[in-house]
Amino acid sequence: MRGGSIAVVGGSIAGCAAALAASRGGAERITVLERADDRLRDRGVGIALQSDRYDELREAGYVAPEMPWAPLTRRLWSVRDGEAEHGRVVGEQPFPFRAYSWGSLWSELRRRVPGDVVHRSGAVVTGVEPDADGVTLRLADGHEERFDIVIGADGYRSVVREAMFPGADAAYAGYIGWRGTSSDVADLPSDGEDAHNIVFPGGHCMIYRIPDGRGGHRLNWVLYTAPPEADGLHPDLRTPTSLPPGRLNSELTERLRALVADNFPPYWASRVLRTPAETTFIQPIYDLEVPHYTSGRMVLVGDAASVARPHIGGGSVKALQDATALEAAWKAGSSWKEVLERYDAGRGPVGAAMVALARRMGDAQVENTPDWTAMDQAGFDAWWQRQNSGSDRRSGFGGHSMKAG
């Protein structure tokens, strides 16, 4: 299917990948509308790509070896054990992942989008009006423009999704991720190639090294736990939101710091507690599924389509895979209808499977944690297997394999 005018709403990783997919599919005119400005490149949080998924995406041309990354080889699950500096390891797993900084991965992907794709920063889409053979977008400045296809890559608060499926909002999972990055990477165990999960009753914290985009590294961590049920500690998280450093409630922050001091091995407690406040933020955890990835001339990719809790380690993988699937459907279809039907049939079931697996992992790792102090490697292996039981054999921790069979 060649030609056509395409709008991509959202210019983050999913949006850049979708623009690349549309260009490779043969779209004639592509416009990316991003509500933020160039500060997107400053997002320093970590993401990780499972090595097999990376290989698939590299073959498809969406990632490349020159994108800055840090190797991860093993994941250690550790519990506090008195004053033992690093705690006690209750479980060890192979962990063939590549760690990236969100901002540097986005910058490299953005650089690969062809120069004839138009990017508009500060473009806030306030209305999406579909008709029989196109979609009109209304912007905050009053401007309106009509496109043959509109791709919603605008995250879990997607205005495109709301036009497709009114009321299909992300649902708060009941807990949060407290995230932070710091330059505190000296003397990390195993030369920084291990990912560390610090476990405690009611949650865990994942800690690993990421590239800083300047040839060095930063320490990236995210702590998952339910916030205290007390008045004034946090806003109504049932409405999709995020809390940047300037809006963090000081009492909530102190509760989280106390949790770290009480439950983390001394070495890891000091690493988290030394993180500068200005590089920490709260990420409420949500679930999201949609009936279809397409409707009329509208398409969803990335978190606009489905949100799986981060425990699955596959969010960015899924966004990039959505783009590869969209490109393949574009090249195979002979009409817009056929393109969109092919894409929906291929990606809808994958999104649902990933959301279901991530819910199971969230239940086991945050909502109903085991007695970590009584666990050994054999007990850990059995516990991990229960989380993954019943999964599609092509899906698991790290995302979904796009290879057949």
Written as six digits, the tokens of 111 are 């650089």
CB 88 within 8 A of CB 51: no
CB 6 within 8 A of CB 149: yes
Is residue 323 situated within a structural domain? yes
Residue 221 in this model has a pLDDT that exceeds 70:
yes
Percent of the chain having pLDDT more than 70? 91
Q: Which of 41, 67, 57, 48 shows the shortest CA–CA distance to 119? A: 41
**CA distance linking residue 197 with residue 326, whole number of Å:** 35
pLDDT score at 249: 67
**CA distance linking residue 51 with residue 97, whole number of Å:** 5
Sign of CA dihedral 50, 55, 58, 64: positive
Is residue 95 situated within a structural domain? no
What is the secondary structure of 252-266 as a DSSP string? HHHHHHHHHHHHS-H
Q: Which residue has the tokens 């205005």?
A: 159
Query: Which residues span the domain enclosing 311?
Result: 5-43+104-169+291-367
Is residue 153 situated within a structural domain? yes
Is residue 363 situated within a structural domain? yes
Helices (H), 246-376: 250-263, 266-273, 315-332, 336-362
Q: Which of 40, 13, 43 shows the shortest CA–CA distance to 154? A: 13
Element at 8 (helix H, strand E): strand 5-9
Mean pLDDT of the chain: 90
Is residue 227 situated within a structural domain? no
- SS3 of 5, please? strand
In this structure, what CATH number is given to the domain that contains residue 339?
3.50.50.60
pLDDT score at 389: 75
Residue 28 in this model has a pLDDT that exceeds 50:
yes
**CA distance linking residue 91 with residue 94, whole number of Å:** 10
The terminus-to-terminus CA distance of the chain in angstroms comes to 28
pLDDT tens readout for residues 10-26:
999 999 999 999 999 99
Sign of CA dihedral 99, 314, 319, 35: negative
Q: Which of 277, 86, 306 shows the shortest CA–CA distance to 181? A: 277
Q: Which of 171, 166, 161, 398 shows the shortest CA–CA distance to 284? A: 171
Region 307-336 average pLDDT: 93
pLDDT tens readout for residues 171-201:
999 999 999 999 999 999 988 899 999 999 9
Q: Count CB-CB contacts under 10 A for residue 386.
A: 12
pLDDT tens readout for residues 65-88:
989 999 999 999 999 999 999 999
Is residue 284 situated within a structural domain? no
Is residue 93 situated within a structural domain? no
Element at 164 (helix H, strand E): helix 159-164
Q: What is the DSSP letter of 222?
A: E
CB 201 within 8 A of CB 152: no
Written as six digits, the tokens of 326 are 């969209």
CB 171 within 8 A of CB 287: yes
**CA distance linking residue 319 with residue 174, whole number of Å:** 24
**Confidence class of residue 244 from pLDDT cuts 50, 70 and 90?**
low
Q: Which residue has the tokens 């091995």?
A: 265
pLDDT score at 39: 57
Structural domain tally of the chain?
Answer: 1
Is residue 204 situated within a structural domain? no
Residue 275 in this model has a pLDDT that exceeds 50:
yes
Q: Which residue has the tokens 């199971």?
A: 360
pLDDT score at 94: 94
CB 280 within 8 A of CB 178: yes
Least confident range from 44-48, 145-149, 237-241, 394-398: namely 237-241
